[in-house]
Chains A and B, each alone.
Chain A
Amino acid sequence: MTNGWVDIKNADMILVMGGNPAENHPCGFKWAIEAKRHRNAKMIVVDPRFTRTAATGDLFCQIRAGTDIAFLGGLIRYAIDNNRYAKDYLAHFTNAAFIVKEGLKLPEDGLFSGFDPATRTYDPATWNYEAEGAPNSAGLPPKVAFDLTLQDPRCVFQLLRRQYSRYTPEMVERVTGIPKEQFLQAADLFTSVRIDGDMTKAATMLYAVGWTHHTNGTQMIRTAAIVQLLLGNVGRAGGGVNALRGHSNIQGATDMAGLYHLLPGYLKAPAASDVDFKTWVARITPGASKPGAWDSLNYWANTPRFAVSLLKALYGEAARKENDWAFHYLPKVDRDCSWVHLWDDMYRGNVKGMLAFGMNAVCIGPDSQKNIDALKKAEWLVVGEIYPDETSEFWRAPGITAEEMKTIRTTVYRLPCAGFAEKDGSTTNSARWLVWKHAALPPPGQARLDQDIVAEIFLRVRALYRKEGGRFPDPILNLTWPYSDPLHPPLSELAKEFNGKALADLTDPKTQQVVVKKGQQLPGFALLRDDGTTSCGNWIYCGSWTEAGPQLARRGTEDPSGLGVYPNWGWSWPANRRVLYNRASCDLSGKPWDSSRTQVWWDEAAQLWSGHDVPDYKADSKPQDHMGPFIMNPEGVGRLFAPLAAMVDGPFPEHYEPVESPVANVFHPQQPTNPVLKKLASPDDRFGSPAEGFTVVCTTYRLTEHYHFWTKNNPMSVQLIPEPFVEMPVELADELGIRGGDKVKITSARSYYIAKAFVTRRIKPMTIDGKKVYQIGMPINQGFRGIQEDAGKDARTIANRLTPTVVDPNAHTPEFKGFLVKVEKG
């Protein structure tokens, strides 16, 4: 989230799209209700189903799954045509005025300039700004040509206008199935916060995996960000683009780089082409790119400090300037190792051993059967879990015969881990708040703390390398392990390690006075150095555990501004800022756009930025210096246009159909799907089409009463929702002779799923470009091990047997929503 849960109460307008917080985030959604009750906020809900969120909204639009860019693109067009955008904000806080160099082609025919059909990739050379006064070189120009009047035909604003001129209300209706009049009602309502450019009000957008689970998911979120920048809603209380997120520490897992392409704090993982430390940091450290007269903090310019401090945290004394900070201890990535590729590489026999802790890989999918088939080929699997799950028992999945079981050679270790109440440590909620929790009791039976298991595995491997030698043991032998109890590393010590400490006395460069003594915890990332005198395991978490103690364990309930900032509850990254980009909550002179919601402001007397929140800005940058509020972008401003390789599939979002779609792409039938999309080619990777009888659009979702594949072990959750079901329109059920409670079989090109029919008017048949299209929805929370499953009370099929392995080329997230199925009476 750019903002936070409590902050939603400050909104005047709420668009919920790609999420269903009333059911999936009930205790956070109360802040949307708070905004409705106390600010008279309006709420628009766009979803394939009439959810409980929709039931509380002022306007509901039923959308065809996967067509969100068409809707949001229509919103951009409406806002521009009706003068409902934030003019000063747009000109000065976004790249609207930046001029794009000649040669960019917009995708009227479905393709931007630079496409190579042979490799299905783009050369983004033409997706760049025009340099001011000098010829363009390969990267972003340090000085960018611009036109503050926004009239130049090649300025970003005019290109944006042209790009979305095709997204007329008629086209929105043809693609999304939302009637033109209803779309116009929604567009009018949402943009009403910016009538004639008045900046007082703020609108927020709330989304979840309904936007990420598509082959153009990242671009959906970008379209939302463009709308919010256009309307000047980012950085403001009650505004922003807010990912609600589904799991208690999904934000933290990303921050801490539980993903192949990252190192902690969003540093890009080294690639094979990074032949040394210098090459790596040069590649991942951007240079400022902005109009000559403007200023840009370009905070990523500090990347070398973050990188050296990380290597010092990992390798201590073994990371020295002379050995390139032990850069070659880090593995270099040369391929896509993301989720579906990991499984594909196991399927093809390359990944031989896997450790799977704290999730249920087989059920999570996509294409559960492919994951099961992959595990059959692995040599060994270690599962750390608290319940018996489908992943550890893949070898006895329904359908595997006694004979086949004998041929499955995989050795599986199942280790009993600790539940949430048995572990301390911090989690990071979707508002970026790190909050410490305490352990209430020890793990039961022989179960062990997860960190103890990983520590002991690592230390045993290290002991083997010490004893026997082996291939390149250096990173294993030299990894720092300074814990007071090496086999049971206290999480408080790990938290202090990723906060970071001084390895020498640190002096203030201006006064030469020592500000942090050797050995002390660092107060914040501004003190990180690239000379080896600081160590820090995750720069964005620097400040969470200082000499003043664990900031992430604070429980101060005061909220002086009344805006829901709660500056003393837990600790929010970065630097305890609660709303990101909050300098944009003020006008050019540093005065809040809305005097009743003052977050930060320029204090002329003190010559500093001050506020109820921590300014997300250089504290002493005077307004007249024109430093951009989006300090993490090299431009210093928000990106309506994403230059160069920021996105692999285009500098502006364009509507593409899901990989399995019931209709043609009405914008460009010759280019229906995302052009850079690549399908995996194993025999398990099958795709269906309407011609083969797969005509119904299916979307997966979650329930209030269940949490993923975990609570099927919880008696109360099972009592509330005991069985899998498929939600389908009355009209479809009538056509097929299905009544509520009947057993139905849902089949995709991958596999089938059996559940009870839940016949409903919450999903209506849709008309898509003149064609009748049905959508169905199914929760994913069951499998073949659980209370009901073990009692033989359901079909023991897994919902994700149906879903395809095709992914969003930017974020590598699979298309769990909007695939095609057949529906039959079971």
Chain B
Amino acid sequence: MHDLDWKPDKNLDEPLYEQIKQFVIRKISCGEWFLGFQLPPQRELALYFGVNRSTLKTALEDLTADGILGTRGKSGTYVRNNTWSLFRKPLSPDWLKYIRSGSLSPNREITRSIHDHEFSSNLIRLSTGELSPDYLPRNSTDRVLENLIAGGYSLGYDHPNGTIELRESLVQYYRRLGVEAKLSQILIVSGALQAIHLISVGLFPKGASVSCETPSYLYSLNLFKSSGINLCGVPCNGEGIDIARLVNIHKRGSTASHYTIPYFNNPTGHRLSDRKRIELMETYRKLRIPVIEDDTYRELYYDEERPLPLKASDESQFVIHVGSISKTLCAGLRVGWIIGQEEVIRKLADLKMQIDYGTSSLSQLVLDSLLRSGRFEENLSNLRQTLRAKRDLMHEILEGEFTGFAEWTKPSGGFYIWLRLKNLADIKSVFEYCRCHGVLINPGYMYDPKNRDAIRLSFSYVSDEEMKHGLSILKDAILSNTPRTL
């Protein structure tokens, strides 16, 4: 019944139990040993492998501790998890390389140039993926801080996973979204970027591939590229990611995970449709694709009911969910979180302790107070109204001024409009023209190295006047850099 003609090789340096562990992981990752699969009894396995039982036991205990296998009383050992835990291998020696200044990617230059310019006060920032200071919750934080000061809150060290209070608040928040998470499944981090950083460093072996939509926010980061993790772009059509292409990439077997911003994507503003969502979740499940869900923008919906995160229909625990308040409340607190399987969270928490010994407990306390007092929701609801008006204005201006030489979809949430230009000669010249005239834009190639015809416009930061003026300069820039008369 069990096809086990493999035996560990005693001549190798690698200990026998380690070889057995890898064998079991291979069996699981190729799908032969599926979720819930009952392993042969230990005595039988030891005989198959030609090892003594204590060696076998060490291997199985390690895998159980890693959450890959589980035990069910007398009935023995079964496959408990077939996605994230498989990556919990020893980290590769070069895992830190991604962060070195020496391995900066070509995009760095433009990112840096934009960053440098963003803080010149008189520039119009159609580029900026952040909230205008006018929308930041100054009064709410003032009141919260006043209470915290009066309450005599002590500034001591806190729990490595984050304060219990904030994690409790998040449990409540996610329950309303249909996500049941335990405290031990939540790790508080310093923003979503740190979440992506910890996941890429802590879970992926060197040389792994991660698939993502093209264009994708990930291309604007150095993090994956310079860590030796390959990004594998999957093209999108009007409805979102091309599922057939996604399936093909993952069937080849070398792709470790899929990264996605399902709702109000950065940079495209795209929202995953309900129909597509079901189809995608089914695909992830069938192919056992571990998914990183970047949920940063989901709360910023303007035209419909609140969308539910992918994590809400994730019974098999293949989604690692990343949340943040940087776009929905304020970025300066530097708070985000990861929700995932307990073993994975423990591993990431250990790594985080080594890196920075935990996220500011003061920042966490402020966020917790805002969540508990309802001010977070209140603020969000105001923010949605404000940003809906901003979105409408930008769409209206584009319709009036850009029709004919540009295309876009009106986004139903988020910060961005992805503007595609027809007949464009040189996007770099458009960028330069705008910059010389005091307007910053983000060229599409920041999010897709091959892209030559798109611009990410952000309506979250600029005032109405700035938006009007900025777009008129952009229009001039485009028309003066387009070869044919329109």
A binds B: no
